[in-house]
């Protein structure tokens, strides 16, 4: 499956691997119901609370397409819609004010 991926099949002149996986790479299995997500450190949108020392950051996140219990609970589409409306805050009063 990895050998058939676009990044491996794409020519090196087009930013791919030219149908070869470098010998110094380590290929890791992704556990069930998870997905690997990467970010560009220079863009400042990585999830890490620590300073990253590499050009790209990688994260292993839970993921499920189960309609009754989806993970993540909020899709990118819903997040974009919320961002377009602006920040909202709903507070529930738990005790009477003095």
Reduced to 3 states, what is the DSSP secondary structure of residue 75? coil
Tokens 């529930």 -> residue: 92
Where are the domains positioned within the chain?
25-77
Distance CA 8, CA 83 (A): 36
Length of the chain: 98
Whether the full predicted model's pTM is greater than 0.95, yes or no, is no
- In Å, what is the CA distance from 25 to each residue of 38, 77, 94? 17, 34, 55
pLDDT in tens, 32-78: 888 888 888 998 888 888 888 989 888 888 888 888 888 876 666 66
């Amino acid at each position: 499956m990895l050998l058939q991926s676009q990044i491996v099949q794409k020519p090196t002149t087009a930013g791919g691997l030219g149908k070869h996986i470098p010998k110094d790479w380590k290929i890791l299995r992704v556990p069930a119901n998870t997905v690997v997500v990467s970010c560009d450190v220079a863009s400042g949108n990585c999830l890490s609370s620590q300073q990253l020392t590499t050009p790209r950051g990688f994260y292993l996140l839970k993921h499920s397409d189960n309609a009754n219990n989806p993970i993540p609970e909020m899709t990118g589409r819903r997040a974009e819609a919320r961002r377009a409306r602006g920040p909202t805050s709903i507070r529930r009063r738990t005790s009477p004010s003095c």
